[in-house]
Structure 1
Amino acid sequence: MVTLGGSMAAIMISFGFEEVKNVFRTVRQAFTTDLMDPRELIQIFSDLARKARREGLLALEDDAQRLEDPFFAKGIQLVVDAMEPEMIREILETDMAFTAQRHEIGQRIFKAWGSLAPSFGMIGTLMGLVQMLAELDRPEALGPNMAVALITTFYGAILAYLFFIPLANKLALRSEQEALLRQMMLEGIIAIQSGVNPRIVEERLRSFLPPLKRGSKEKEETQGEMAAEMFSTRL
């Protein structure tokens, strides 16, 4: 009780109730929501670039409304609205910066919680030792009281190193993965607005991936066909 309740109270004081409540929502999303496969994203951009060159930017309006990712949909809608590439980049980079800032708060909360939990575990141990010393005239109670005193330190270590610090690392990794996708989306959106050749759009976005994930040409074509089919099904 002291370990979890005390550390939670300290976190509430440090970050506020709303931020702590929001971080649990973020954790739930991190474990229950899958990110888009970057190779699928590349194929979608290739299809959008071809459609834009063939039918014009206004033809992408329906696609913008059907895209599931809000950032992606927002960027394509800005393209449809004929906004200048520099302005699109500024708007989307601002969005990315504030998203990263919100994600960082969640990481800070769990890192702080991971450092506080063992400390409050020690506080619980000290409280147990005080209780034990108060009952020195009862030798039969020394063992049970010592066990109760030490268990809070164990709880603090378990909470910190099995839950809070791993959750902070999970959020950090998720944030990096989302940032990569957002950067790919940004570059793809600017390329479509600028009328870049679809093949060049593909190669530009593929450069974001590690070499092992780029695959051979035959494999890429197969994956591209699958992604195109999935995209057409969504639309």
Structure 2
Amino acid sequence: MDITTLLGIALGLAALVGGFLLDDGHISGLLVYTAAIIVFGGTFGAVIVSFPKSQLKQIPKALGLAFRESKADPNGCIAELVDMAVVARREGVLALEERVQQHPNPFLRDGLQMVVDGTDPELLRSMLEVEIEAKEKIYAGYAKLFESAGGYAPTMGIIGTVMGLIHVLSNISDPESLAGAIAVAFTATLYGVASANIVYLPIASKIKARGEELIAEMDMILEGILSLQAGENPKLIEKKLKSFLQVEARADGGKDADDDGEKT
């Protein structure tokens, strides 16, 4: 479980509710079930209409991508590819067959299996690039589901508010309850805007970020497999693959990794 996703959502909600309560608000004023039905029911309905059934079935996987720890392990992949390159130079690529078949990373496993099978380098590159593009589309589709919800929710909130005001104005004979009824009506707008900006859109952004991590790892693995197939020096392969980590290294501390993989 990725605690940062849950922590971010909890912190956002706590800030909104806490600020409201500190301003002498009452928690009961935020709990309006009719507004929740309109906003959340309307949002989910709009999303269901917007996407085919096959894509809606991917929602659990999309949530898994956002709420689980990242499976990307570029440093581990580099170490394994370099080790395999050493074995391939000494004993030939066929010596990797048993090890390849047991590898848990399906992309790396399939790519190396094609190397062992003697696949042409250009065909190998083409096939792996097609697989990377397919993954990119899948992750983009995951994010689009929640981006869509984030777009519909505020509109549903406005619709809920308008419906509430219609109800209020149709019973204007009781002026004393008018202010409270208007406040309740605007709760729908709050639900719509808050859910979009604290839940749906942040989850979409998290899915995009996770997808980019995994795609970057696949790009790195692709170069490593092709370098191994070409019989390049393992040290050069290691240096080439670690260049994929330079952006991350700068983001972490403004320092690049040297040839030995240590921060300088």
CA displacement at 1:196 relative to structure 2: 1.0
SS in 2 for 1:209: helix
Aligned-residue identity in percent: 35
Structure 1 spans left out of the alignment, 5+ residues:
222-235
Name which of 109, 133, 150 aligns with 1:73: 109
Give the number of the structure whose residues are more often helix, by fraction: 1
Name which of 193, 198, 215 aligns with 2:257: 215
Question: In structure 2, how many angstroms separate the alpha carbons of the residues matched to 1:201 and 1:218?
Answer: 12
SS in 2 for 1:208: helix
Question: In structure 1, how many angstroms separate the alpha carbons of the residues matched to 2:242 and 2:141?
Answer: 31
Residues 1:207 and 1:218: Cα distance change in structure 2 (over 3 Å): closer
Name which of 61, 77, 84 aligns with 2:97: 61
CA displacement at 1:143 relative to structure 2: 3.0
Q: Is the 8 A contact 2:154 2:193 kept in 1?
A: yes
> Structure 1, residues 39-70: CA drift from partner, whole Å, max 9, x if none?
22211111010011112111111222221111
Q: CA RMSD in A?
A: 1.8
Aligned match of 2:18: none
SS in 2 for 1:207: helix
CA displacement at 1:130 relative to structure 2: 0.7
Name which of 119, 126, 131 aligns with 2:162: 126
Q: Is the 8 A contact 2:72 2:213 kept in 1?
A: no
Aligned match of 2:136: 100
Moved more, 18-27 or 122-131: 18-27
Count of paired positions: 221
Name which of 194, 197, 203 aligns with 1:167: 203
Aligned match of 2:70: 34
Name which of 183, 189, 209 aligns with 1:153: 189
SS in 1 for 2:179: helix
Q: Is the 8 A contact 1:206 1:214 kept in 2?
A: no
- Which TM-score applies when normalising by structure 1? 0.88
Q: Which has the higher contact order (CA 8 A, sep 6+)?
A: 1
Residues 1:161 and 1:99: Cα distance change in structure 2 (over 3 Å): same
Question: In structure 1, how many angstroms separate the alpha carbons of the residues matched to 2:146 and 2:178?
Answer: 36
> Structure 1, residues 125-178: CA drift from partner, whole Å, max 9, x if none?
001001101111122332332122100000001110001111111111111111
Corresponding letter in the other structure for 2:104: E
Question: In structure 1, how many angstroms separate the alpha carbons of the residues matched to 2:187 and 2:151?
Answer: 18
Aligned match of 1:201: 237
> Given the alignment of the two structures, is residue 135 of structure 1 paired with residue 171 of structure 2, yes or no?
yes
